[in-house]
Amino acid sequence: MQLQVWSGLAAAALLLGLSCLGLPRAAIRGSWKITVPFLIFMFLSIVLGGLEWGTADGQFPLGFATERAWSAGFVLTRLFLILMAGYWLVVSTPYGQLVQGLNWALSFFRKMKLPVESFALAVSLLFRFIPLILREWQRFSAIVRARGKAAIRPGMVRMRDIPALVVPLLLAMFHKAEQMTVAMEMKKIDGKQQLLKKSTLRWQPKDTLIFIWSVVIFGVLIVMRD
């Protein structure tokens, strides 16, 4: 709610950094595989966004607009924080608890005849595919690196090897998705069967405390925004 100003971005980055202190080291190391490429993308986008072409005689036609570069950097920084917050949610929340939490949080809309079960199942499958894509990327990058005899770090791919990696990766992901669909059809799994599983979630006193603090912080953010 405060991502409209730089001070809000700084506060969000601070909170996000503090929340990552309790993550396993493997999860923190894995975040660099997302952070480094995005930071490179941010740098190139800011540089390209600030370039401008002038037509005045007697002057160098290529210039740099600081305001436009600053604006592009602000938007990309906000997107970066949202991206890392999503990564934090994936690595900090167990898959089963995520599905149960969605079903519990959206149970009210079930009375309105909305397909809550299908939505929760689709979201859970999406989160299931994120680590699968990362694992497949590691596997295919190792194959491409071995065939090309490139002396680069594991998980990295040269730009000229990208076409040789992307096509097999996409085909492998389509194959995985087809296998998962067939398995779900054979087992007759749908969103409603997810609800039949015993829920291990229990509302505890610390959940009440977290909820109260969340409401208080939410109110403070509304007052600050107004």
pLDDT > 90: percent of the chain: 2
pLDDT of 98 > 70? The answer is yes
100 with 192, same domain: the answer is yes
Of 60-69, 91-100, 144-153, 172-181, which gets the smallest average pLDDT? 144-153
150 lies in the same domain as 198: yes
Nearest to 84 by CA among 134, 30, 135, 35: 35
In a domain, 224, yes or no: no
Q: Buried b / exposed e across 177-211, counting CB within 10 Å, b at 16+?
A: eeeeeeeeeeeeeebeebbeeeeeeeeeeeeeeee
Window from 58-67, 146-155, 167-176 with minimum mean pLDDT: 146-155
Residue 64, Cβ density class (10 Å: 0-12 exposed, 13-18 middle, ≥19 buried): exposed
Whether 159 and 59 share a structural domain: no
Q: Is residue 136 part of a domain?
A: yes
Q: Say yes or no: 56 and 7 in one domain.
A: yes
Tell me the chain's radius of gyration from C-alpha atoms. Answer: 23
- The whole-number pLDDT of residue 209 equals 92
- pLDDT score of 157: 64
Q: Which of 69, 92, 115 is the last residue of a domain?
A: 92
Identify the weakest region by mean pLDDT among 93-102, 146-155, 200-209. Answer: 146-155
Q: Is the dihedral of CA 84, 89, 94, 96 positive or negative?
A: negative
Place of tokens 């599905």: 99
Write the DSSP symbol of residue 198: P
Same-domain check for residues 21 and 103: no
The last residue of a domain, from among 92, 111, 128: 92
Least confident among 91-95, 176-180, 194-198, 214-218: 194-198
Is 23 inside any structural domain? yes
Question: Is 218 inside any structural domain?
Answer: no
Q: Are 107 and 88 part of one and the same domain?
A: no
The pLDDT of residue 197 is 55
* Whether residue 28 sits in one domain with residue 102: no
**Phi, psi dihedral angles at 23 (to 5 degrees):** -75, 155
Task: Provide the 10 A C-beta neighbour count for residue 86.
Answer: 13
Residue 91 is predicted with a pLDDT of 81
User: Quick one: pLDDT at residue 198?
Assistant: 55
Is residue 85 domain-resident?
yes
Q: What is the pLDDT of residue 188?
A: 62
**In Å, how far are 17, 50, 85, 216 from 221, measured between CA atoms?**
19, 32, 18, 9
d(CA 173, CA 186): 20
CA dist 15 and 197 (Å) reads: 35
> pTM here?
0.61
State the residue range of the domain holding 161: 94-203
In this structure, the answer to whether residues 70 and 117 fall within a common structural domain is no
Structural domain tally of the chain? Answer: 2
3 and 85 share one domain: yes
- Residues 178, 119 share a domain: yes
Q: Which of 77, 92, 107 is the last residue of a domain?
A: 92
- H or E element in which residue 41 lies: helix 25-50
Q: Which residue has the higher pLDDT, 7 or 130?
A: 7
Q: Are residues 118 and 160 in the same domain?
A: yes
pLDDT at residue number 137: 75
Residue 210 lies in a domain: no
Q: Mean pLDDT over all residues of the chain?
A: 77
- Shared domain for 2 and 38, answered yes or no, is yes
Does residue 89 contact residue 121 with C-beta atoms inside 8 Å? no
Query: Rounded to 5, what percent of the chain is helix, strand, coil?
Result: 75, 5, 20
Structural domain contains residue 103: yes
For the stretch 166-209, pLDDT in tens is 778 788 888 877 877 777 667 665 555 554 455 566 778 888 89
At 123 the pLDDT is 75
- Tell me 161's DSSP state: G
What does the pLDDT read at residue 156? 64
Banded pLDDT at 89 (limits 50, 70, 90):
confident
- Residue 145 covered by a domain: yes
More confident residue, 195 or 103: 103
